[in-house]
Amino acid sequence: MFRDTRPHGIRIPTHRETAEEWGEQIAVLRDAPRGWRFLLGRLSSDGYLCHLDLNYHLDGELVAVVQTSRPVPSGHRVGSLTTPRSQLSTFLANSDRLDPRIHLAPPDGPPTPGEVRLHGVPVPVEVHRSHGCRSALISRLPSQPGYAIVTAATEHWAAATDLALRPPAAF
């Protein structure tokens, strides 16, 4: 006989429940390539949902992450800020491209100009590169506070940088 030793009363919210808790639009790939699936991750600060990560996988391999973030309300004890470099290091570690003991991946040089498309409109960005992957920040989202960071393996960069904002009901 097997015994369930998990704590009772802890329930993982569905993607839709997390999106509804977020309550604002969420950055996603506008048209995810065939076979790409996503998992929705979340990060809270003092109980406030401040980051949503759409982790895109292809055949079980992490190929891209699109993070939507918003500022933590004033008065919270703990702030939360991510950067293209920190996201790039996290992506490299989570995709087994980098030793997880390295906290920030060394860049392959200074950031270079590039663009990300949001609803088909080009947005100029600075592209950070390390170990065959890229990351860029959209510093301002239209009609809501916050920002988005897209990170992907270089071979998937073109597909990963065509973004849209979707309402919670889309999940």
The position carrying tokens 């509804």 is 20
Q: Say how far apart CA 41 and CA 84 lie, in whole Å.
A: 17
In a domain, 10, yes or no: no
- CB neighbour list of residue 84: distance below 8 Å, 6 or more residues apart: 111, 126, 128, 135, 136, 137, 149, 151
Read off the pLDDT of each residue in 37-49 and give the average, rounded to a whole number.
90
pLDDT tens for each residue of 103-139 = 666 778 899 999 999 999 999 999 999 999 999 999 9
Domain containing residue 117: 15-170
Q: Say how far apart CA 77 and CA 165 lie, in whole Å.
A: 29
Answer whether 165's CB lies under 8 Å from 119's CB: yes
pLDDT at 95: 87
Look up the pTM and report it: 0.88
In a domain, 4, yes or no: no
Q: How many domains does the chain have?
A: 1
Instruction: Answer yes or no: is pLDDT of 70 > 80.
Output: yes
Q: Say how far apart CA 29 and CA 164 lie, in whole Å.
A: 6
Q: How confident is the model at residue 74 (pLDDT cuts 50, 70, 90)?
A: confident
Average pLDDT, the chain: 90
Top pLDDT among 118 and 1 is at 118
Read off the pLDDT of each residue in 37-64 and give the average, rounded to a whole number.
93
In a domain, 3, yes or no: no
In a domain, 21, yes or no: yes
- CB neighbour list of residue 2: distance below 8 Å, 6 or more residues apart: none
pLDDT at 100: 65
- CB neighbour list of residue 91: distance below 8 Å, 6 or more residues apart: 62, 65, 97, 133, 135, 151, 152
